A and B are shown apart, each in its own frame.
Chain A
C-alpha cells in the first residue's frame, strides 16, 4: 500500500513565526509532490508543486523535497491568521495515474 503520511496536528504557531509542515512518502517511484490548502468547509486549492530535489520558493511559501529520505516539507514564513487551514500533501503514484494523499496537517496561526 503506497502511503503519504503527515502529522495530523494541530500545529499551533504565533503570528509572524515560521510554520513547518512535513510529509513522508513510501513510493520511491513518486516524482511529483503537491501541497494543497483546505479551509474548513471549503475545497482544496493548490499552494505549491515540487518535482526536483531541493527548495522551491513562492512568496512566503517554500517547498522542500528530499527524494533520498523520502520527505517533503512546506515552510510558511511570516505566518498569518489567514494561513490557518488544513494542509494536504500529495504525491503521484509511480504509475503517474493518480495522486496519493496524506490525511492533512491542521495549522492554527494565533494572533
Chain B
C-alpha cells in the first residue's frame, strides 16, 4: 500500500512569490492535515481537510490556504512568501477526521526555502 506522497520534495522561492504544495493521502484515507515544522517552533498545525471541507484551522495568516479534491488529494498554497515561511511542510493522512483516536501517517515533507 503506497504511503503519503508529497511533492515537490524541495522548493526554493523568493520573497513575494507564491507556492503550491501537493499531498496524496494513503488510499482510503479521507482526512489530510498540514503542518509547518521549524527548529524553534516545532510542529504546528495549519489546517485539516476532510471530505473536501476544511474542518479546522490553526493560527496562521490568511496567506496560507488549502483545498481538498474529491479523490482526497490536497494542495496547500502560500501567497506572498516571507522569509519566515522557510520550513518543512508536512502533510498527514488519516482514515477518519482528526479525533480522539485517529492515528496520523506523514508524508516525507516539502522543504521550502524562501530567499
A residues apposed to B, CB below 8 Å: 31-32, 34, 36, 42-46, 49, 51, 88, 90, 92, 96-104
Number of A-B residue pairs, CB cutoff 8 Å, is 59
Given contacts A97-B48, A101-B42, contact A49 B98 (CB under 8 A): no
- The number of chain B residues touching the other chain, given as a range, is 20 to 34
- Give chain A nearest CB distance to B51 CB in angstroms: 14
The 12 listed contacts between A and B (C-beta, < 8 Å) are A32-B101, A34-B104, A43-B106, A43-B107, A44-B90, A46-B103, A46-B105, A49-B103, A88-B43, A92-B99, A98-B58, A99-B45
Nearest 5 CB-CB pairs, A to B? A43-B106, A103-B42, A101-B43, A97-B56, A32-B100
B residues apposed to A, CB below 8 Å: 33, 35, 41-45, 48, 55-56, 58, 90, 97-101, 103-109
| Cβ–Cβ contact B90 & A43, under 8 A | yes
* Alpha-carbon distance between A101 and B109 when the two chains are bound, in angstroms: 17
